Amino acid sequence: MGIATTRDTDETYLRRALDLAARGPLGDPNPRVGAVILDADGTVVGEGWHHGAGTPHAEAEALRAAGDAARGGTCYVTLEPCDHEGRTPACSQALLAAGIARVVVAGTDPHPVAGGGLARLRAAGVDVAHGVLVEAAEALNREWLHAVRTGRPFVTWKVASTLDGRIAAVDGTSRWITGPAARRDVHEIRARVGAVLVGTGTAIADDPALTVRDADGEDAARQPLRVVMGERSTALPADARLRDGAATTLLLPTRDPAVALAALTERGVRHVLLEGGGHLAAAFLREGFVDEVVAYLAPALLGAGTPCLADLGITTIGDAARLRVTDVRLVGDDVRLTATLERS
Protein backbone atom coordinates (compact mmCIF):
# COMPACT_ATOMS: atom_id res chain seq x y z
CA MET A 1 0.00 0.00 0.00
CA GLY A 2 2.85 2.33 0.82
CA ILE A 3 4.42 1.95 -2.62
CA ALA A 4 1.13 2.66 -4.40
CA THR A 5 0.56 5.70 -2.22
CA THR A 6 4.04 7.01 -3.02
CA ARG A 7 3.49 6.58 -6.76
CA ASP A 8 0.09 8.26 -6.54
CA THR A 9 1.69 11.16 -4.69
CA ASP A 10 4.50 11.36 -7.22
CA GLU A 11 2.01 11.47 -10.10
CA THR A 12 -0.07 14.16 -8.39
CA TYR A 13 2.82 16.56 -7.93
CA LEU A 14 4.42 15.77 -11.28
CA ARG A 15 1.10 16.58 -12.97
CA ARG A 16 1.17 19.90 -11.18
CA ALA A 17 4.74 20.42 -12.38
CA LEU A 18 3.65 19.62 -15.95
CA ASP A 19 0.83 22.16 -15.68
CA LEU A 20 3.37 24.76 -14.56
CA ALA A 21 5.77 23.82 -17.36
CA ALA A 22 3.02 24.37 -19.94
CA ARG A 23 3.01 28.05 -18.97
CA GLY A 24 6.49 28.43 -20.46
CA PRO A 25 6.98 30.11 -23.84
CA LEU A 26 6.45 28.17 -27.04
CA GLY A 27 9.13 28.31 -29.72
CA ASP A 28 11.88 28.95 -27.16
CA PRO A 29 15.33 27.39 -27.70
CA ASN A 30 15.05 25.76 -24.26
CA PRO A 31 12.61 23.11 -23.01
CA ARG A 32 9.52 23.96 -21.01
CA VAL A 33 10.08 22.78 -17.44
CA GLY A 34 8.05 22.98 -14.23
CA ALA A 35 9.01 22.20 -10.62
CA VAL A 36 7.21 21.72 -7.31
CA ILE A 37 8.97 21.52 -3.93
CA LEU A 38 7.56 19.87 -0.81
CA ASP A 39 9.07 20.33 2.62
CA ALA A 40 10.03 17.39 4.85
CA ASP A 41 6.41 17.10 6.04
CA GLY A 42 4.98 16.90 2.52
CA THR A 43 3.62 20.44 2.25
CA VAL A 44 4.07 22.41 -0.97
CA VAL A 45 6.47 25.26 -0.23
CA GLY A 46 7.64 26.30 -3.69
CA GLU A 47 6.69 26.20 -7.36
CA GLY A 48 8.29 27.49 -10.53
CA TRP A 49 8.55 27.19 -14.28
CA HIS A 50 11.01 28.28 -16.91
CA HIS A 51 10.04 31.61 -18.50
CA GLY A 52 12.44 31.42 -21.44
CA ALA A 53 16.08 31.56 -22.49
CA GLY A 54 18.29 33.41 -20.04
CA THR A 55 15.78 33.35 -17.16
CA PRO A 56 16.07 31.24 -13.97
CA HIS A 57 15.26 27.57 -14.44
CA ALA A 58 12.15 26.03 -12.92
CA GLU A 59 14.04 24.46 -10.02
CA ALA A 60 15.72 27.75 -9.18
CA GLU A 61 12.37 29.54 -9.12
CA ALA A 62 10.83 26.88 -6.89
CA LEU A 63 13.84 26.88 -4.53
CA ARG A 64 13.68 30.65 -4.23
CA ALA A 65 10.01 30.42 -3.26
CA ALA A 66 10.68 27.60 -0.78
CA GLY A 67 13.66 29.17 0.97
CA ASP A 68 14.93 27.22 4.00
CA ALA A 69 11.81 25.03 3.96
CA ALA A 70 13.31 23.09 1.05
CA ARG A 71 15.89 21.39 3.31
CA GLY A 72 15.06 17.72 3.70
CA GLY A 73 12.22 18.03 1.20
CA THR A 74 11.31 16.68 -2.24
CA CYS A 75 11.60 18.34 -5.63
CA TYR A 76 9.27 17.23 -8.41
CA VAL A 77 10.51 18.35 -11.82
CA THR A 78 9.39 17.51 -15.34
CA LEU A 79 12.88 17.20 -16.83
CA GLU A 80 16.16 16.04 -15.34
CA PRO A 81 17.88 18.95 -13.53
CA CYS A 82 20.67 20.37 -15.66
CA ASP A 83 24.27 19.73 -14.67
CA HIS A 84 25.73 22.58 -16.69
CA GLU A 85 26.47 26.15 -15.73
CA GLY A 86 25.77 28.52 -18.61
CA ARG A 87 23.77 31.71 -18.41
CA THR A 88 22.22 30.24 -15.26
CA PRO A 89 23.77 28.02 -12.52
CA ALA A 90 23.48 24.24 -12.67
CA CYS A 91 20.20 23.09 -11.11
CA SER A 92 21.76 19.89 -9.74
CA GLN A 93 24.16 21.99 -7.66
CA ALA A 94 21.37 24.31 -6.54
CA LEU A 95 19.29 21.36 -5.30
CA LEU A 96 22.26 19.97 -3.38
CA ALA A 97 23.01 23.35 -1.82
CA ALA A 98 19.37 23.66 -0.72
CA GLY A 99 19.50 20.29 1.06
CA ILE A 100 16.84 18.57 -1.07
CA ALA A 101 16.58 14.92 0.05
CA ARG A 102 14.55 13.45 -2.82
CA VAL A 103 14.13 14.33 -6.50
CA VAL A 104 11.39 12.87 -8.70
CA VAL A 105 11.77 13.42 -12.45
CA ALA A 106 9.41 12.63 -15.31
CA GLY A 107 12.01 12.45 -18.08
CA THR A 108 15.77 12.42 -18.43
CA ASP A 109 17.70 15.07 -20.34
CA PRO A 110 19.42 13.75 -23.51
CA HIS A 111 21.43 16.94 -23.97
CA PRO A 112 25.14 15.97 -24.14
CA VAL A 113 26.24 19.07 -22.19
CA ALA A 114 23.38 19.86 -19.81
CA GLY A 115 22.41 16.26 -18.99
CA GLY A 116 23.79 14.23 -16.12
CA GLY A 117 22.07 15.95 -13.21
CA LEU A 118 20.55 12.77 -11.83
CA ALA A 119 23.92 11.02 -11.68
CA ARG A 120 25.37 13.92 -9.69
CA LEU A 121 22.43 13.91 -7.29
CA ARG A 122 22.66 10.15 -6.75
CA ALA A 123 26.39 10.37 -6.16
CA ALA A 124 25.72 12.96 -3.43
CA GLY A 125 23.25 10.65 -1.68
CA VAL A 126 20.00 12.16 -2.90
CA ASP A 127 17.10 9.71 -3.35
CA VAL A 128 16.31 9.89 -7.06
CA ALA A 129 13.27 8.52 -8.89
CA HIS A 130 12.37 8.92 -12.54
CA GLY A 131 10.09 7.35 -15.13
CA VAL A 132 6.75 8.69 -13.86
CA LEU A 133 4.51 10.35 -16.51
CA VAL A 134 7.23 9.96 -19.11
CA GLU A 135 4.85 10.13 -22.10
CA ALA A 136 3.28 13.37 -20.89
CA ALA A 137 6.71 14.89 -20.34
CA GLU A 138 7.87 13.78 -23.80
CA ALA A 139 4.78 15.27 -25.43
CA LEU A 140 5.31 18.60 -23.67
CA ASN A 141 8.78 19.01 -25.19
CA ARG A 142 8.40 16.88 -28.33
CA GLU A 143 10.13 19.31 -30.67
CA TRP A 144 12.95 20.22 -28.28
CA LEU A 145 13.71 16.57 -27.53
CA HIS A 146 13.69 15.76 -31.25
CA ALA A 147 16.16 18.57 -31.94
CA VAL A 148 18.51 17.43 -29.19
CA ARG A 149 18.39 13.77 -30.21
CA THR A 150 18.73 14.28 -33.97
CA GLY A 151 20.75 17.48 -34.16
CA ARG A 152 18.17 19.22 -36.35
CA PRO A 153 14.86 21.01 -35.76
CA PHE A 154 11.52 19.23 -35.80
CA VAL A 155 9.85 20.07 -39.14
CA THR A 156 6.11 20.51 -39.61
CA TRP A 157 4.87 20.88 -43.18
CA LYS A 158 1.69 22.94 -43.33
CA VAL A 159 -0.29 22.82 -46.56
CA ALA A 160 -3.69 24.23 -47.50
CA SER A 161 -5.21 22.82 -50.67
CA THR A 162 -8.41 22.10 -52.51
CA LEU A 163 -9.83 18.62 -52.25
CA ASP A 164 -8.01 17.72 -55.48
CA GLY A 165 -4.66 18.87 -54.10
CA ARG A 166 -4.29 22.30 -55.72
CA ILE A 167 -2.72 25.25 -53.90
CA ALA A 168 -3.34 27.79 -56.70
CA ALA A 169 -5.51 28.13 -59.77
CA VAL A 170 -4.16 28.15 -63.33
CA ASP A 171 -3.86 31.95 -63.24
CA GLY A 172 -1.80 31.78 -60.04
CA THR A 173 -4.50 33.03 -57.66
CA SER A 174 -4.50 31.32 -54.27
CA ARG A 175 -6.38 33.61 -51.85
CA TRP A 176 -8.29 32.22 -50.26
CA ILE A 177 -8.44 28.43 -50.63
CA THR A 178 -9.42 27.84 -47.01
CA GLY A 179 -11.80 29.79 -44.81
CA PRO A 180 -11.11 32.30 -42.03
CA ALA A 181 -11.25 29.68 -39.24
CA ALA A 182 -8.48 27.64 -40.87
CA ARG A 183 -6.39 30.75 -41.42
CA ARG A 184 -6.73 31.70 -37.75
CA ASP A 185 -5.72 28.15 -36.86
CA VAL A 186 -2.50 28.56 -38.86
CA HIS A 187 -1.59 31.61 -36.77
CA GLU A 188 -1.92 29.48 -33.64
CA ILE A 189 0.52 26.98 -35.15
CA ARG A 190 2.97 29.75 -36.08
CA ALA A 191 2.87 30.96 -32.49
CA ARG A 192 4.28 27.60 -31.37
CA VAL A 193 7.31 27.43 -33.67
CA GLY A 194 10.75 28.98 -33.76
CA ALA A 195 10.82 29.67 -37.50
CA VAL A 196 8.50 29.80 -40.51
CA LEU A 197 10.18 28.82 -43.77
CA VAL A 198 9.15 29.38 -47.40
CA GLY A 199 10.86 29.08 -50.75
CA THR A 200 11.88 32.11 -52.78
CA GLY A 201 9.22 31.44 -55.42
CA THR A 202 6.46 31.50 -52.83
CA ALA A 203 7.91 34.59 -51.16
CA ILE A 204 7.89 36.52 -54.44
CA ALA A 205 4.64 35.20 -55.91
CA ASP A 206 2.47 35.37 -52.77
CA ASP A 207 4.23 38.19 -50.88
CA PRO A 208 3.29 36.64 -47.51
CA ALA A 209 3.82 38.37 -44.16
CA LEU A 210 4.35 35.09 -42.23
CA THR A 211 3.68 36.86 -38.95
CA VAL A 212 1.57 35.70 -36.03
CA ARG A 213 -1.61 37.74 -35.67
CA ASP A 214 -4.12 37.62 -32.82
CA ALA A 215 -7.90 37.34 -33.05
CA ASP A 216 -8.12 41.08 -33.73
CA GLY A 217 -5.68 40.86 -36.61
CA GLU A 218 -2.87 42.59 -34.71
CA ASP A 219 0.70 41.31 -34.73
CA ALA A 220 1.49 39.24 -31.63
CA ALA A 221 4.24 40.33 -29.25
CA ARG A 222 6.36 37.26 -29.99
CA GLN A 223 7.10 36.47 -33.62
CA PRO A 224 8.90 33.43 -35.06
CA LEU A 225 11.90 33.93 -37.30
CA ARG A 226 10.81 34.33 -40.94
CA VAL A 227 13.04 32.40 -43.35
CA VAL A 228 13.25 32.57 -47.13
CA MET A 229 15.27 29.76 -48.66
CA GLY A 230 16.60 29.56 -52.23
CA GLU A 231 19.44 30.70 -54.43
CA ARG A 232 17.48 33.87 -55.31
CA SER A 233 16.46 34.64 -51.73
CA THR A 234 18.75 37.64 -51.39
CA ALA A 235 16.99 39.17 -54.41
CA LEU A 236 13.73 39.44 -52.46
CA PRO A 237 12.20 42.81 -53.46
CA ALA A 238 12.83 45.71 -51.09
CA ASP A 239 9.09 46.35 -50.78
CA ALA A 240 8.25 42.70 -49.93
CA ARG A 241 6.25 42.25 -46.75
CA LEU A 242 8.94 39.91 -45.48
CA ARG A 243 11.21 42.97 -45.33
CA ASP A 244 8.70 45.09 -43.41
CA GLY A 245 10.40 44.83 -40.00
CA ALA A 246 7.35 43.25 -38.33
CA ALA A 247 9.59 40.28 -37.49
CA THR A 248 13.16 39.21 -38.14
CA THR A 249 13.70 37.74 -41.61
CA LEU A 250 16.58 35.45 -42.55
CA LEU A 251 17.52 34.97 -46.20
CA LEU A 252 19.24 31.64 -46.87
CA PRO A 253 20.75 31.48 -50.38
CA THR A 254 20.66 27.67 -50.58
CA ARG A 255 18.40 24.97 -51.99
CA ASP A 256 19.81 22.31 -49.66
CA PRO A 257 17.44 21.45 -46.79
CA ALA A 258 20.32 20.12 -44.65
CA VAL A 259 22.20 23.41 -44.99
CA ALA A 260 19.09 25.39 -44.08
CA LEU A 261 18.30 23.26 -41.02
CA ALA A 262 21.91 23.48 -39.84
CA ALA A 263 21.77 27.27 -40.06
CA LEU A 264 18.55 27.33 -38.06
CA THR A 265 19.94 24.93 -35.46
CA GLU A 266 22.85 27.33 -34.91
CA ARG A 267 20.29 30.06 -34.21
CA GLY A 268 18.61 27.95 -31.54
CA VAL A 269 15.53 27.03 -33.60
CA ARG A 270 13.98 23.75 -32.44
CA HIS A 271 10.76 23.71 -34.49
CA VAL A 272 10.35 24.80 -38.11
CA LEU A 273 7.06 25.35 -39.88
CA LEU A 274 7.43 24.66 -43.59
CA GLU A 275 4.78 26.70 -45.40
CA GLY A 276 5.55 26.58 -49.09
CA GLY A 277 5.72 25.81 -51.81
CA GLY A 278 5.41 22.40 -53.36
CA HIS A 279 9.00 22.15 -54.60
CA LEU A 280 10.39 23.11 -51.19
CA ALA A 281 8.18 20.56 -49.43
CA ALA A 282 9.26 17.88 -51.89
CA ALA A 283 12.94 18.67 -51.25
CA PHE A 284 12.48 18.25 -47.50
CA LEU A 285 10.43 15.08 -47.94
CA ARG A 286 13.01 13.51 -50.25
CA GLU A 287 15.67 14.07 -47.58
CA GLY A 288 13.49 12.62 -44.83
CA PHE A 289 13.31 15.95 -43.01
CA VAL A 290 9.53 16.26 -42.64
CA ASP A 291 8.36 14.95 -39.26
CA GLU A 292 4.73 16.07 -39.26
CA VAL A 293 2.13 17.17 -41.79
CA VAL A 294 -0.74 19.52 -41.03
CA ALA A 295 -3.01 19.59 -44.08
CA TYR A 296 -6.05 21.81 -44.48
CA LEU A 297 -8.44 20.45 -47.12
CA ALA A 298 -10.96 22.91 -48.49
CA PRO A 299 -14.29 21.68 -49.91
CA ALA A 300 -13.39 23.04 -53.35
CA LEU A 301 -12.22 21.63 -56.69
CA LEU A 302 -10.06 23.25 -59.37
CA GLY A 303 -9.21 20.36 -61.68
CA ALA A 304 -6.03 22.14 -62.77
CA GLY A 305 -3.51 24.52 -61.28
CA THR A 306 -0.49 24.27 -59.01
CA PRO A 307 -0.22 20.94 -57.16
CA CYS A 308 0.52 21.01 -53.44
CA LEU A 309 3.60 18.83 -53.88
CA ALA A 310 6.24 18.45 -56.57
CA ASP A 311 7.68 15.16 -57.83
CA LEU A 312 9.11 12.91 -55.12
CA GLY A 313 10.58 10.45 -57.59
CA ILE A 314 8.09 7.75 -56.58
CA THR A 315 7.01 5.55 -59.50
CA THR A 316 5.10 2.71 -57.83
CA ILE A 317 2.43 2.59 -55.14
CA GLY A 318 4.54 0.32 -52.97
CA ASP A 319 7.03 3.13 -52.52
CA ALA A 320 4.45 5.71 -51.43
CA ALA A 321 5.40 7.84 -48.45
CA ARG A 322 2.99 6.63 -45.79
CA LEU A 323 1.70 8.72 -42.93
CA ARG A 324 0.11 7.87 -39.59
CA VAL A 325 -2.91 10.08 -38.92
CA THR A 326 -2.93 11.49 -35.39
CA ASP A 327 -5.85 13.90 -35.61
CA VAL A 328 -8.73 14.82 -37.94
CA ARG A 329 -11.17 17.64 -37.26
CA LEU A 330 -13.33 20.29 -38.86
CA VAL A 331 -11.99 23.83 -38.69
CA GLY A 332 -14.80 25.97 -39.96
CA ASP A 333 -15.77 24.44 -43.30
CA ASP A 334 -12.33 22.92 -43.86
CA VAL A 335 -10.88 19.60 -42.72
CA ARG A 336 -7.60 19.69 -40.80
CA LEU A 337 -5.61 16.47 -40.90
CA THR A 338 -2.51 16.00 -38.77
CA ALA A 339 -0.16 13.11 -39.45
CA THR A 340 3.37 11.95 -38.82
CA LEU A 341 5.67 10.34 -41.37
CA GLU A 342 6.20 6.63 -40.96
CA ARG A 343 9.90 5.88 -40.80
CA SER A 344 11.20 2.63 -42.29
Q: Is 329 annotated as a binding residue?
A: no
Q: Is 57 annotated as a binding residue?
A: yes
Please state whether the peptide bond connecting residue 277 to the residue before it is cis, i.e. omega within 30 degrees of 0.
Answer: yes
**173: exposed, middle or buried (C-beta count within 10 Å: 0-12, 13-18, 19+)?**
exposed
87 touches 123 (CB < 8 A) = no
Q: Is 282 annotated as a binding residue?
A: yes
Q: Is 281 annotated as a binding residue?
A: yes
Active site includes 59?
A: yes
Q: Is 122 annotated as a binding residue?
A: no
The CA-atom distances, in angstroms, between 167 and each of 150, 273, 290, 320 are: 31, 17, 19, 21
Q: Is 283 annotated as a binding residue?
A: yes
Instruction: Measure the CA–CA gap between 233 and 78, rounded to whole angstroms.
Output: 41
Q: Is 202 annotated as a binding residue?
A: yes
The values of phi and psi at residue 79, to 5°, are -140, 145
Spatial neighbors of 236 by CB under 8 A, at least 6 apart, are 200, 203, 204, 228, 242, 243, 251
101 touches 74 (CB < 8 A) = yes
338 touches 326 (CB < 8 A) = yes
Q: Is 216 annotated as a binding residue?
A: no
Instruction: Measure the CA–CA gap between 34 and 15, rounded to whole angstroms.
Output: 10
**Closest of 246, 238, 164, 240 to residue 202, by C-alpha:** 240
90 touches 33 (CB < 8 A) = no
Q: Is 206 annotated as a binding residue?
A: yes
Q: Is 210 annotated as a binding residue?
A: yes
In the three-class reduction of DSSP (H, G, I as helix; E, B as strand; rest coil), residue 68 is classed as helix
Question: 59, 61, 80, 143: which is the annotated catalytic residue?
Answer: 59
Instruction: Measure the CA–CA gap between 109 and 112, rounded to whole angstroms.
Output: 8
Beta strands 334-341 and 323-331: pairing type?
antiparallel
Q: Is 68 annotated as a binding residue?
A: no
Q: Is 280 annotated as a binding residue?
A: yes
Q: Is 82 annotated as a binding residue?
A: yes
91 touches 80 (CB < 8 A) = no
Q: Is 213 annotated as a binding residue?
A: yes
Which positions make up the binding site? Answer: 57, 82, 91, 160, 174, 176, 190, 202, 206, 210, 213, 275, 277-283
**Residue stretches of the annotated binding site for substrate:** 174, 190, 206, 210, 213, 275
Q: Indicate the annotated binding residues for Zn(2+).
A: 57, 82, 91
- Residues with a known catalytic role: 59
Which residues are documented as binding site for NADP(+)? 160, 176, 202, 277-283
